């Protein structure tokens, strides 16, 4: 965890600066548009609506995760989110102007301010990234794992995506309690990364060892450790105990979630109805078969339901192969299907599943019983996903990719269930926009696993 940006004071300072930037951008835009002489009527209107600009900016930025600084994120991620946030901000102004008649801002002023505000806010986050990267530097890391294949796969993100933050100096697999003797005391290491398969005793020993050396510890959590994060401390006599319940939503949370589902899915169906009709016509014209196909998925508490999707593959794609997951270059996918899978248009009919109550807008993605049975053999906690309604999108979909392993997606799903709130649902819905625009997240599974070129030091 990056202590510098965990402090609430930093978030408050950035929030205040963002408000300053929005007011400065619109003031400068007025000056540019009116060539330095702002008419009194225009200035009076701006001052009347001004306070709402700051509030609207902060809310929009929050929904697009622009105040999440506790992480090693590249400037490109912030820039993409900023562009989307500003587009959403302008759309909100247009809505408030034309429908509610709250904001009466000249269109040219809004466009000029758009560019100025984007430059200022991104410049601030670029400066923060520079300070963060200079302060933390590229850390020399040691990766300690249990030696099984899932642990090896977890190494790849640190090697590929963490190049700017980590240099993997050593990779150790534990086979005993004398592992410390293989690491010289004078070797300079900054970070120790722990895989989830290590035992509690091994993790305790490593944490103590890293603490004595002043090292940062990055722990990939096991599933029971995710439950501990929200465990309720209780007392039996003078003994401290943790109460851990299966992940679920309260009655009030379920009511609020259902109301949000009905409101947003109804609005989305109304807005996308021309596109739905267009796809319903085009799909049968470009490939043999119907536009829609139905497939049985497992929903809340293990109850099956029929999910509705636009067909992106050839008709009867699994007639000969049986249930298999789509691959990166799947020949069963039609030409139009490539487009609708990349843009996620094939998921739109599931809004009707949301209206009928079989699904929610946000939640773990519904899976087929065939694959659930396979996953549960390796992941006993997988059944916890069925404690809530499946979703059209979810935390695993915005944080991970299509080809991410079932175990890693399960961690995000359990984190979502344990930390549910209506505000979290809204943030995931806004982040889904970013996912839809990313081709990388819609790729299928790779046909073969990457070979690990880093030699492992066996112990």
Q: Are 356 and 300 in contact (CB under 8 A)?
A: no
Same domain, 331 and 398: yes
* Of 32 and 457, the one with more pLDDT: 32
Tally of domains within the chain: 3
| Domain residue limits at 197 | 138-220
What is the end-to-end Cα distance of the chain in Å, rounded? Answer: 29
Reported as a single tens digit per residue, the pLDDT across 347-389 is: 899 999 999 999 999 999 998 888 888 888 888 778 888 888 9
The residue from 115, 135, 155 where one domain ends is 135
* 455 domain residue, yes or no: no
**How big is the chain by its Cα radius of gyration, in Å?**
25
Reported as a single tens digit per residue, the pLDDT across 98-133 is: 766 666 777 888 889 889 998 999 888 888 777 766
Reported as a single tens digit per residue, the pLDDT across 398-420 is: 887 666 778 888 888 888 888 88
Same domain, 305 and 383: yes
* 242 domain residue, yes or no: no
* Of 103 and 446, the one with more pLDDT: 103
Reported as a single tens digit per residue, the pLDDT across 271-304 is: 999 999 988 998 888 888 888 888 899 999 889 9
| Most confident by average pLDDT, 66-75, 109-118, 175-184, 308-317 | 109-118
Same domain, 282 and 425: yes
Same domain, 289 and 429: yes
Mean confidence (pLDDT) of the chain: 78
Same domain, 106 and 198: no
* 80 domain residue, yes or no: yes
* Of 348 and 65, the one with more pLDDT: 348
* 228 domain residue, yes or no: no
Question: CA–CA separation, 317 vs 330, rounded Å?
Answer: 11
Reported as a single tens digit per residue, the pLDDT across 32-44 is: 888 878 888 777 7
Same domain, 97 and 128: yes
User: Is the pLDDT reported for residue 5 higher than 60?
Assistant: no
Same domain, 172 and 208: yes
Same domain, 48 and 158: no
Same domain, 326 and 265: yes
The residue from 120, 135, 150 where one domain ends is 135
User: Is the pLDDT reported for residue 236 higher than 50?
Assistant: yes
* 397 domain residue, yes or no: yes
Of the pLDDT bands very low, low, confident and very high (cuts 50, 70, 90), residue 324 is low
In this structure, what CATH number is given to the domain that contains residue 157?
A: 3.40.50.10700
This prediction's pTM: 0.70
Same domain, 80 and 179: no
Same domain, 323 and 435: yes
Bridge partners (DSSP) listed for residue 327: 445
| Phi and psi angles of residue 456, each rounded to the nearest 5 degrees, phi first | -100, 140
pLDDT (average), residues 83-90:
86
The residue from 114, 135, 156 where one domain ends is 135
Same domain, 173 and 130: no
* 452 domain residue, yes or no: no
């Amino acid at each position: 965890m990056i202590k510098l940006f965990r402090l609430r004071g930093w978030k408050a300072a950035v929030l205040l600066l963002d408000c300053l930037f929005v007011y400065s951008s619109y003031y400068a835009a007025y000056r540019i548009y009116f060539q330095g002489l702002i008419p009194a009527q225009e200035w009076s209107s701006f001052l009347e609506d001004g306070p709402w600009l700051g509030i609207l900016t902060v809310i929009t930025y929050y929904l697009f995760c622009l105040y999440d600084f506790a992480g090693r994120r590249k400037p490109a991620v912030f820039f993409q989110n900023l562009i989307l946030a500003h587009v959403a901000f302008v759309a909100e102004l247009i809505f408030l102007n034309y429908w509610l008649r709250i904001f009466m801002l000249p269109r040219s002023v809004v466009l000029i301010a758009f560019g100025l505000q984007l430059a200022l806010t991104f410049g601030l986050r670029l400066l923060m990234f520079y300070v963060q990267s200079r302060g933390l530097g590229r850390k020399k890391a040691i990766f300690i794992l249990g030696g099984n294949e899932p642990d090896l796969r977890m190494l790849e993100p640190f090697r590929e995506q963490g190049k700017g933050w980590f240099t993997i100096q050593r990779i150790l697999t534990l086979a005993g309690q004398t592992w410390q003797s293989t690491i010289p005391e004078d070797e300079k290491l900054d970070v120790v990364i722990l895989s989830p398969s290590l035992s509690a005793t091994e993790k305790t020993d490593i944490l103590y060892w890293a603490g004595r050396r002043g090292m940062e510890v990055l722990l990939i959590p096991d599933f029971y450790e995710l439950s501990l994060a929200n465990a309720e401390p209780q007392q039996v006599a003078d003994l401290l105990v943790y109460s851990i319940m299966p992940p679920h939503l309260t009655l009030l949370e379920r009511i609020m979630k259902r109301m949000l589902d009905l409101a947003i899915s109804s609005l989305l169906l109304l807005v996308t109805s021309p596109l739905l009709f267009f796809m319903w016509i085009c799909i049968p014209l470009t490939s043999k078969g119907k536009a829609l196909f139905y497939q049985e998925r497992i929903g809340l508490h293990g109850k099956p339901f029929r999910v509705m999707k636009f067909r992106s593959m050839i008709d009867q794609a699994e007639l000969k192969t049986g249930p298999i997951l789509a691959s990166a270059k799947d020949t069963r996918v039609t030409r139009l299907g490539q487009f609708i899978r990349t843009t996620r248009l094939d998921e739109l009919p599931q809004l009707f599943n949301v209206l009928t109550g079989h699904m929610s807008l946000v939640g773990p993605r519904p899976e087929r019983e065939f694959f659930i049975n396979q996953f549960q053999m390796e992941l006993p906690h997988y059944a916890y996903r069925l404690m809530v309604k499946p979703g059209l999108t979810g935390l695993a979909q915005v944080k991970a990719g299509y080809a991410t392993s079932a175990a890693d997606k399960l961690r995000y799903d359990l984190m979502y269930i344990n930390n549910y709130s209506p505000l979290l649902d809204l943030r995931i819905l806004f982040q889904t926009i970013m996912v839809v625009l990313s081709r990388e997240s819609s790729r299928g599974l790779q046909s073969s696993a990457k070979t690990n070129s880093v030699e492992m030091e066996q112990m």
